[in-house]
Structure 1
Amino acid sequence: MGGPVERLPEEMLALIFRDLPLRDLVAAARVCRAWAAAATNSTVWSDTSISCDCELEDLLPPYLFACLDHIRNLRLEYEPSKKASRRTAFELLIALASRAPRLRGLRLECRGENLLFDAGHDILGAVQELCGAAHQLRHLDLRRLPYTLGNTLVLKAAGGCPELRSLFLDNHALVNGVQPISVLKLLAACPHLRALGLHLASMSHKALVLLAAPHRSPFALLALRCACPEDAHASPLPDEAWATLSCRHPGLEVELELEPVLPDAAVTSILQPAVPVAVLRLNLSGDTVGPLRFAARHYAKTLRVLEVHAPASTKLHTALEELAARCAGLREVHCFCVVRPSVLDAFRAHCPRLRSYTLKLKRERHPWRPTVVG
């Protein structure tokens, strides 16, 4: 007769196995038939994280492919500079494309260094094939891919994934390849979309109007990254359109990430008063004090997270203190320069919901770690 562990019901073993790393899970599956059955239980694989390191290569056939049918949400991590890791990620995506009707969510993440001039055609081609087959896909997150994302991918998602609820394309590529017309087609094809992440140049006045249409499901999150040359020359989005959108979706939150490529004039056109900014990340090469004061005046009711990369100065400290006094709903503030004590005092005194902050009073070794409020 087997021991107590061997006699556990399959459902209980599956609950234990779902927290094991992939290699340990494979080892457990080889112990006996009962453990093998539990290790392939859908409970184990419904929400899965896979890291395509070199050691994973020998696990692919036949064990891992046999479990792909059970995956509903997948977080797939790989290193593009390592051939084995990249090949494994590609093969997994292609294999998933043939089983895609069950897949609901996909998040891709690159780790380590990306090869110079690598366009990621193999990985992006596999993602496009998956989008063409995953008709029940609801969540697609490509923020951690370093490649230029283009119209073909967006149109594949529009044509193949009508049930999309969230799509994030606001990655750290040096070039933005998604045109506004493709976004319009996406919004028309995916009426249930609730969260969208894009580079600013991909948005348009027409997209804001379409998002405010009466037939659309409630829209919750719009993340705009402004970091490419195309973003710096994007047409301004009118304040009236933002006001209409906010009225149509009162729960809408906007995340703005402004990078050094933006001149001061572009920053001024982006920071419209009616934008319901909940997250503001400022990493500008020009004026930072002006945007902080603008946020204090116009985003006091909506701002929840603030991140600032700027040289320390008296004007910056004063602007931070003014913002703290107005933005009582702040939950996080992270300033990556040394600040004077009165800045820290201001956020502690005026922001009762503050959960974490990075406000250093003296220089420390990087990376700076935030202080968590108990």
Structure 2
Amino acid sequence: MVAALQPKRWAEASRGKCLFSTVLTTSFDCEREGTLLPYLSACLDHIHNLQLEFEPSREPSRRAATELLTALAGRTPGLRSLRLECRGEKPLFDAGRDILDAVHAICWAASALHHLDLRRLPFTLDDALVLQAARGCPELRSLFLDNCTLVGSVRPDSVLELLEACPRLRALGLHLASLSGAVLQVLAAPGRAPFALLALRCACPEDARAPPLPEEAWAAVRRRHPGLAVELELEPELPAESVRRVLQPAVPVATLRLSLSGDTVGPVCFAARHYGATLRALEVRAAASAELDAALELLAARCAGLREVHCFCVVRPSVLHAFRAHCSRLRSYTLKLTREPHPWLPTPVA
């Protein structure tokens, strides 16, 4: 239900106490900026799952999002899940303090919160936010902080405190610089609850300078959590030597997104050699070349469990044939044989 378009229906639903899962969009027209919160005031106690979308560059949208989060922080007994998503561009040098302060208030009040997803916030997320989540939300099952900021401000020590305070956490999204060997040791501890997903974004200078993680620590985590899936996203800021430190054979990589300014062929070949048993999704943004085509064909032959492959450059027909022939579980692909106007949409596999 889109609250910005149907506030009266929200009010009617709240009187019947039937709001158990909600999707809320606050990117409404300027002339309606003051209409939403009064209707929602009677609903706040019944919101369990909230996806909040707003445009940070538009003051009415931003103000409505901040006011709603602040109001919700005072009445959050049933809130289980919160996902925030920014649309459009954010103003330059915008630190997002108003939005982040409201998220702090939610974390302080929502002791039953299970899921917090901040991947679509373009603001720098810091230690204070992670520590507030650790102290205020002990029931967390998932926390995603792997957003698109170019500054990494969450230290591994804060992640350690989070893991100790939230023993049921089973999915975590971080920048690479926030991970450490000590964090992996905690995840591998015998009493740790099953851990399912670790999403790592490598995109800022701190990620490029992060020390290598011990191979034996990854192996211990994999033994403790055989079902663990790792998502790796390698951005252009990552130099070649950092890529070599990140890609390790012991890491159970299930999703690999490559958008590198340097060599892409090497990482694709590495994935083909070492991630054949775990890789389920591949995304490549690179310049077309015969070497890349050959690497993709090798990966198709060795990673039979692939479900998705998306390559945003033109490939030769043999690449498409290799994935269709070897990857019987393929569900969708983006493999263009000729240059087409963007956006390139994936092709579903019947």
Sort the TM-score into its range (normalised by shorter chain): over 0.9
Write the distance in 1 (CA, Å) between the matches of 2:62 and 2:4: 18
Structure 1 position 25, deviation (Å): 3.5
Q: 1:215 and 1:118 mapped to 2: Cα distance? A: 42
- Separation of aligned partners in 2, 1:28 and 1:327: 49
Aligned residues: 348
Matched residues in 2 for 1:240 and 1:182: separation?
A: 23
Secondary structure of residue in 1 paired with 2:293: helix
Unaligned runs of 5+ in 1: 1-19, 30-35
The TM-score normalised by the length of structure 1 is 0.91
Q: Structure 1 residues 24, 198: closer, same or farther in 2, change over 3 A?
A: closer
Q: Structure 1 pair 79/39, CA: closer, same or farther in 2 (3 Å)?
A: same
Alignment counterpart, residue 53 of structure 1, candidates 20, 27, 36: 27
Question: Residue 119 of structure 2 aligns with which residue?
Answer: 143
Instruction: Work out whether 1:22 is the aligned partner of 2:3.
Output: yes
In structure 2, C-alpha distance between the alignment counterparts of 1:194 and 1:231, rounded to whole Å: 23
Equivalence for 1:107 = 83
Task: With the length of structure 2 as denominator, give the TM-score of the two structures.
Answer: 0.97
Residue 173 (1) aligns with residue 149 (2): yes
Preserved contact between residue 106 and residue 141 of structure 1 (Cα < 8 Å): yes
Q: State the SS of the aligned residue for 1:102.
A: coil
Amino acid at match of 2:290: T
Large movers: runs of 4+ above 6 Å: none
RMSD: 1.3
Corresponding residue for residue 284 of structure 1: 260
Secondary structure of the residue aligned to 2:77 is helix
Return the letter of the residue paired with 1:221. L
Q: Which has the larger radius of gyration?
A: 1
SS at match of 2:193: coil
1:57 shift after superposition:
2.3
What's the offset of the Cα at 1:345?
A: 0.3
What is the aligned partner in structure 1 of residue 238 from structure 2? 262
Does the residue aligned with 2:267 lie in a helix, a strand or coil?
A: helix
Q: How far, CA to CA, are the matches of 1:122 and 1:261 in structure 2?
A: 29
User: How much does 1:66 deviate?
Assistant: 1.1
The answer to which of 281-290 and 47-56 deviates more is 47-56
Alpha-carbon contact 1:25-1:39 (below 8 Å) kept: no
Q: Does 1:218 align with 2:199?
A: no
Of the three residues 237, 240, 251, the one matched with 1:275 is 251
| Rounded Cα–Cα distance in structure 1 between residues aligned with 2:56 and 2:159 | 28
1:311 aligns with 2:287: yes
1:370 to 335, 346, 350: 346
Q: Secondary structure at the match of 2:220?
A: helix
Matching residue within 2, 19, 41 for 2:16: 41
Structure richer in helix, relative to its length: 1
Q: State how far apart, in whole Å, the 1-side matches of 2:85 and 2:12 are.
A: 30
Instruction: Select 1:85's aligned residue among 47, 51, 61.
Output: 61
Residue number in structure 2 paired with 1:129:
105
SS in structure 2 opposite 1:162?
A: coil
Write the distance in 2 (CA, Å) between the matches of 1:111 and 1:330. 31
Aligned mates of 1:226, 1:61 — CA distance in 2: 38
Given residue 50 of structure 1, which amino acid in structure 2 is its aligned partner? L
Separation in structure 1 between the aligned mates of residue 180 and residue 251 of structure 2, nearest angstrom: 14
Q: Deviations over 1:136-156 (max 9, x none)?
A: 001000000000000000000
Residue 297 (structure 1) aligned with residue 264 (structure 2): no
| 1:95–1:250 Cα change, 3 Å | same
Rounded Cα–Cα distance in structure 2 between residues aligned with 1:23 and 1:162: 32
Unaligned runs of 5+ residues in structure 2 are none
Amino acid at match of 1:231: D
Whole-Å separation in 2 of the counterparts to 1:258 and 1:192: 28
Contact 1:110 1:146 in 2 (8 A): yes
1:357 and 2:333 equivalent? yes
